[in-house]
Structure 1
């Protein structure tokens, strides 16, 4: 059933414009972009943003670790495809989708700092990131759904841990 539903979402080879859009959306959730951006915010931002940027970076790294462990446990191969060779070489397993997990976690974390429409954009982006991973044949539908659920749970847990995180960091800096 999973492969059947996934095959319905895959883009055809002649849908070049849509493929390029999905590639852009997919790359917009690459962890190294986020970590570099958060590092710059931490260095150049105001004092309150330093702590928040560090927290989001820790959340991204923690989620990557959890996804890595789950992928090592399940070892589900990625769908056959040509695009995304770096993902296929560096990370040959597809369950769960790390991009979907990261995007959904960031959407949940946006609740902490953003207003209604920004939060809505984050959640729309998280859905599009997950769909891009399917349309580009990097994940199956179930991989993405599991990633979204994992990301939502991780984001909710992170929101609960934020006060503790700030206390620890402030204590270390004093």
Structure 2
């Protein structure tokens, strides 16, 4: 009985996730939306994080070394967990999902599986880490992180629950790193 209830709950959750994905993805057909989503997604690529740290250090921003340490430790926690989860869960991307028809992503994803979203996890490592050191930046950082996650859905490479899992992974990795360093 318990297994049946859990299976029904998971089925309903998957249905909601697919339906929400389809509603969002349907709005990405315009060139403007597809290009905006592409560049928002690109803003969460790894090399830009290195550039951010270098910029903070070059400008001698207060606590730049602490931010650097926090980001390095948080990414050192996030990346192996991301790889473990992605390769253990092996959730199909929207294009390969059996229940979805005619989904063609706007980009080619960097790997096969979708859960969790690595771009979103990385973005929320940055959002959380920077917000812990510079609390006044929380709102714009949260907006950016949420838009990165949304862009991954709009590009057709992630379901909404992939984004929520990526957010949780990024936040928890940063909080664990902050706790380790005595920042939080």
TM-score by length of 2: 0.75
Deviation at 1:97?
0.6
Note the 1:9-28 alignment, pairs <5 A.
9-12=24-27, 14-28=29-43
CA distance in 2 between partners of 1:82 and 1:152 (Å):
27
CA distance in 2 between partners of 1:62 and 1:130 (Å):
20
**Residue 122 (structure 1) aligned to one of 125, 141, 165:** 141
**2:84 equivalent in structure 1:** 69
- Please report the RMSD computed on the Cα atoms of aligned residues, expressed in angstroms: 2.3
1:157 and 2:176 matched: yes
CA distance in 1 between partners of 2:142 and 2:165 (Å):
16
- Bigger helix share: 1
Alignment length (residue pairs): 159
> Unpaired segments of 5 or more residues in structure 1?
165-174
**1:30 equivalent in structure 2:** 45
Deviation at 1:51?
4.2
**2:107 equivalent in structure 1:** 84
**1:142 equivalent in structure 2:** 161
1:102 and 2:122 matched: yes
**2:10 equivalent in structure 1:** none
CA distance in 2 between partners of 1:45 and 1:150 (Å):
30
SS at match of 2:145: helix
Instruction: Pick closer, same or farther for the CA change 1:156–1:119 going to 2, 3 Å.
Output: same
CA distance in 1 between partners of 2:73 and 2:37 (Å):
27
CA distance in 2 between partners of 1:57 and 1:131 (Å):
25
> Unpaired segments of 5 or more residues in structure 2?
1-14, 96-103
Deviation at 1:36?
4.2
**1:44 equivalent in structure 2:** 58
Moved over 3 A (4+): 11-14, 41-48
SS at match of 1:21: helix
Q: Deviations over 1:98-130 (max 9, x none)?
A: 1111222221212222142x2100011111111
Instruction: Pick closer, same or farther for the CA change 1:13–1:6 going to 2, 3 Å.
Output: closer
CA distance in 2 between partners of 1:63 and 1:135 (Å):
24
